Structure 1
Amino acid sequence: MPDSTLVPAVPATCSPSRAARELGLRRGEFDLAVHLGRIRTAPAEGGGGGRVVERAEIVRLLARHGFPSTLRERLRVVGTAEGAALMGIPAGRFTRLARLGLLVPVRFYLNRYRAVVWLYLAEELEQFATGAGNTCLLKGRMPETLRGQLAAGVDLRPRNWRGRHFGFLLRQAADPWARAAAAAAFLAPAEIEDVVRDPGERALLERLRPAPPAHGAPGSSFAHLAEHLMTAQDFDEVGWLRSDLAQAMREARTASAAPRTPARSPQAAERAPVRCAEAGPRLPARPSVTPGDRPARNRRAVAHTVVTAPPAPSQAPDARPEVPSAARGLRAWLFRASDRPAQGRPGYRARNRPSCTTETSSRPRTS
């Protein structure tokens, strides 16, 4: 009789990627099913925002009739052209219905022209097309109120997507602080700061804040677009999210307090000025030098040194007037250096004194 202890135990949970392979679904189909609540997940034991799928959920899905074909058909998404053909209406009317908020997108992506492409569930489009009260919207002239909204430039597709995504984040939230972070994910930082005044609580919300559904690199066009679409724009939508965040914060504070940043001890506060004083300048200040102390090799080396005006000679017959500034003193010293004869060739001047408009250089002929 074989020893039962040698038989490996089947884990009670598995990762989302493994669950997708066992269910025969592509990862995109699996993520969409989780987003719509058709596959239930649970928080990982280690925390950190990870999700796992229980073995009982996989068994439940595999036991359904026609799986996975039936689930894939319910997860099929279409764009504007395919959705209009599915509903039997022109693409222009389909876009107008979506802008009015009558057709709710479930996903979006950025095409190569950096335009937003919205995707819709084919199942929901079929249900809308077969609805008894939607015949006037699919055929004939639209009501005057709807045409007025279209003329005003209304577009509720981003807002409807945010509402659907907010519901998904609330279903995934494990505690009141995660629910508050889900509401804060759709607000601008200034709105969050106005509602949540405590810096420690704002830091916790920022750490728990869900990331936008972006697959591009940080800083890319898709990342910026996803962040823009994730932020509420309308005044009434912002007010609704602010009130929801305030209510969620009251519930989170009642459940547990936000972790605080440890305060500095008095000893550390007393030592801080001492360390700043000890740091000081690493290099001593360069003393000022005069051009006469040590001749430089070339004019460029002299130009990078800190100089002062050279002292005027007391009894020299050709004494120049005293220069008040360091820059003029440097220029006067350079002119004097050019007047000195070069070594080995008496009377030779390497460069004539430059004029006010041009700079010439001549070399005398030697006999």
Structure 2
Amino acid sequence: MKVEALERASVSADEEFGEDPGPDPRPEPRGDARPQELLGGLRAAGELGLRRGEFARAVQLGLVRAGPRAPSGAARFARAELERVRAREGFPQALREQVETVAGADAGAGVLGIGPSRFTRLARCGHLIPVGYRVNRYRAVVWIYLTAELREFAAKEPGMLTGAAPPEDRELVLAGADLRPRRWRGRHVGLLLRRTADPWERAAVLASVLPGPEVRLAVPDPAERIVLAALAPPPPYGHPQAPAAAAVGDRLLLAEPPDEVHWYRTSLDFALTGARGQSNSTGERGPT
């Protein structure tokens, strides 16, 4: 458990990759060890030749790994990590291609060479997994897809781009199903879990997608709930700030179907068992 989590200010994903918080004020290590140079998100993006949104997507996908956070909670990036990314084959074009996205059915359909209605059906039936979203001025969700993944799907599943829908898809369409929010949440949680090995942070990720009543049932100790709230990940990059649009986005962040809620609740119970065995809410080592 990180005790300092209780003192961490809430930082949105947009703030993480916005203003550079300045030089790292932490003291240099003793001995011969060199302090690692840490850069704010805006400067790190510039050094990689990426736009702000491209850099945020690269961090989300684990292509660029964040370093220790600033005291404010904003993300920092070690120069050594930026050098590692620059040393990869095909940089910078290969990196830009990995983070390239399209928004909405019309743009996605253009990549696949199909009509928007077929694209929407493929996405609603779970064949195409969004990597993000935005909420437009009409408070409608616009799903965002990785261009490279769409092209990969077209190469692997050419039969899905023509002809009649398979029976399973027809059943989902008749039932009015839309798997896009659920598939996006699964991807979002998976990416967040890959970015940390800390057991309490992993529990916080799982708790963040559960409705409040489920979290209170799973975590009856108020002190533990405070810790999980402090460690909760910020909303994803692109999450709207305006209250009306943010309310739409907030609903996307929470599991809804009962079986999905049950899966995350079971996963949270398992994560908490491990976290409590390592430490308690005061940061002390638990019993062995």
Bin for the TM-score computed over the shorter chain: 0.7 to 0.9
Corresponding residue for 1:63? 87
Deviations 1:3-27 (A, max 9, x none): xxxxxx9853222222111111111
CA contact (8 A) 1:43 1:174 kept: no
Residue 137 of structure 1, CA deviation: 1.7
Work out the CA distance in 1 between the residues paired with 2:162 and 2:240: 40
Closer/same/farther in 2, CA of residues 217 and 123 from structure 1, 3 Å limit: closer
Q: Is the 8 A contact 1:136 1:142 kept in 2?
A: no
Q: Does 1:18 align with 2:43?
A: yes
Identity rate, percent: 46
* Aligned twin of 1:52: 76
Question: Are 1:173 and 2:196 an aligned pair?
Answer: yes
Deviation of 1:152 (Å): 0.1
> Structure 1 stretch 222-231 or stretch 206-215: which is displaced more?
206-215
Q: CA deviation at 1:251?
A: 0.9
Query: 1:49–1:163: structure 2 CA closer, same or farther, 3 Å change rule?
Result: farther
**1:187 touches 1:238 (CA, 8 Å); kept in 2?**
yes
Runs of 4+ in 1 over 4 A off after TM superposition: none
| 1:116 paired to 2:141 | yes
Contact kept? 1:187, 1:232, Cα under 8 Å: yes
- Write out per-residue CA displacement over residues 15-51 of structure 1, whole angstroms, 9 at most, x where no aligned residue: 22221111111111101001011112223375x6443
Q: Does 1:163 align with 2:186?
A: yes
- SS in structure 2 of the partner of residue 109 of structure 1: strand
Match of 2:154 among 129, 134, 149: 129
Tell me whether 1:97 sits opposite 2:122 in the alignment. yes
Q: Any residues of structure 2 matched to 1:272-287 within 5 Å, and which?
A: none
Residue 247 in structure 1 maps to residue 270 in structure 2: yes
The counterpart of 1:224, out of the listed 247, 256, 261, is 247
Structure 2 Cα separation of the partners of residues 188 and 252 of structure 1: 21
Gapped runs of 5+ residues in structure 1? 1-8, 261-367
Give the distance between the partners of 2:219 and 2:226, measured in 1 at CA: 10
1:27 — aligned with what? 52
The root-mean-square deviation of aligned C-alpha atoms, in Å, is 2.0
Q: Encode CA deviations 1:63-82: one digit per residue, 9 max, x unaligned.
A: 33442222112211112112
C-alpha offsets along residues 195-222 of structure 1, whole Å, 9 cap, x if unaligned? 111121112212222232255436x122
Q: 1:85 aligns with which of 104, 107, 110?
A: 110
Q: Do the aligned partners of residues 107 and 75 (structure 1) sit closer, same or farther apart at CA in structure 2, a change above 3 Å counting?
A: same
User: TM-score if structure 2 supplies the norm length?
Assistant: 0.80
Do 1:15 and 1:53's aligned partners in 2 also have CA atoms closer than 8 Å?
yes
Greater RCO structure (CA 8 Å; 6+ sep): 2
More moved, 96-105 vs 11-20: 11-20
- 1: CA distance, partners of 2:193 / 2:131: 16
The aligned residue for residue 339 of structure 1 is: none
**Larger-gyration structure (1/2):** 1
Q: 2:216 aligns with which of 193, 199, 217?
A: 193
Q: Which amino acid aligns with 1:30?
A: F
Structure 2 counterpart of 1:38 = 63
Between structures 1 and 2, the one with greater helix share: 2
The whole-number CA distance in structure 2 between the counterparts of 1:195 and 1:11 is: 39
Shift of 1:168: 2.1
Q: Which of 163, 166, 173 is the matching residue for 1:150?
A: 173
Cα offsets for 1:338-361 (capped at 9, x unmatched): xxxxxxxxxxxxxxxxxxxxxxxx
Whether the 8 Å contact between 2:62 and 2:195 is mirrored in structure 1 is no
Distance 1:211 1:235 in 2: 24
**Unaligned runs of at least 5 residues, structure 2:** 1-33, 284-288
Give the count of matched residue pairs.
248
Q: Distance in 2 between matches of 1:185 and 1:156?
A: 19
Deviation at 1:171, TM superposition (A): 2.5
Q: C-alpha offsets along residues 134-186 of structure 1, whole Å, 9 cap, x if unaligned?
A: 23321111122210111101101001111111012213335211111100000
Alpha-carbon distance between aligned partners in 2 of 1:212 and 1:74, rounded to the nearest angstrom: 22
